[in-house]
Structure 1
Amino acid sequence: MRITTLDPARAARLGAAELTYRPAGGTPHPRPGYDAFSRSRRLGRRDLEGAAAELLGWEVHARAGLAVAASAPRAEVGVVVEMRLGVGPLGIRIPCRVVRVVDEPDRRGFAYGTLPGHPEAGEELFVIERGSDGALTFTVAAFSRPASLLARAGGPLTRWVQAAMTGRYLRALDAP
């Protein structure tokens, strides 16, 4: 998939929209009434800076099969992104705003929160951590609940799609 610049008018509308949950910035801590998960994968690569550049540059999402349109080329607090799963009128819009950036010596990543139009309400964290042995671990953690009729009607299928996308994200940093 590709990464494009979000149309400025669309970026402004999404930038002004309220998040669909409260309070922001709490991943990975679950909230009452939300489903939560955390999955990790040890990466084959060992370059934290390179992996972080790909993660923060939206490559993970594009490699996972999403069309990505972001208001900035790098995830920073306040940046909005609209992803699409699927094509044409059957595609699902996935608008989010970056609510947190992790920039520590051995940890890099970000979290985004859902905006109106997203099928779920909640937050998702993507973080890469370098262990004492130099190995990298990539973790995706989230809390969410259905926000659209489609997501509510999907029941277990909705959670299966979320789990499948998480697996794609976790494999994407080892992809060429």
Structure 2
Amino acid sequence: MLINSKIQQAAQTLGVLLQQRGATVAIAESCTGGAIAAAITAVSGSSAWLELGLVTYSNRFKEQLLNVPTALIAQHGVVSEPVVAQMLLGVCALSSADYGITVSGIAGPGGATAQKPVGTVCFSWGTPSDAIQATQCFQGDRDSVREQAVLFALAGLSQHLKSTG
């Protein structure tokens, strides 16, 4: 997946907002496979505000590295707002970052259920004490879903930072 101009701009904007606060971010990605971290590291100087980027693709590592309870995954499914909320707590604790971005979704073409079609992606961003969760259902092929998810994740934390001053 190439970093398009919208994603590049979103990563730059996020960097400016974090630097204005002297803050850092940590990321735990699943369906985006490191693309959020890749977009951020494409920005010169991002080492000042990116603390950690993890691809926790399997449930096992969501549980082991991010302390997502097995029971939470069993109850809600790995693509759910409760799971991404817990992922955010885990990645911020692991890294000591001020803010987190977490993503879990179904990029397709397989993996869909009646309740969660291809394109369903859950997000969490913010601080451990003030995080927001959101779910989107993007259209398109696997690459398109992943690109849309990266842009939404970056823009989501930027919007959160703007709204919290």
Same fold (TM over 0.5): no
Which protein has greater RCO, CA pairs closer than 8 Å, 6+ apart? 1
TM-score normalized by the length of structure 1: 0.29
Structure (1 or 2) with the greater strand fraction: 1
Structure (1 or 2) with the greater helix fraction: 2
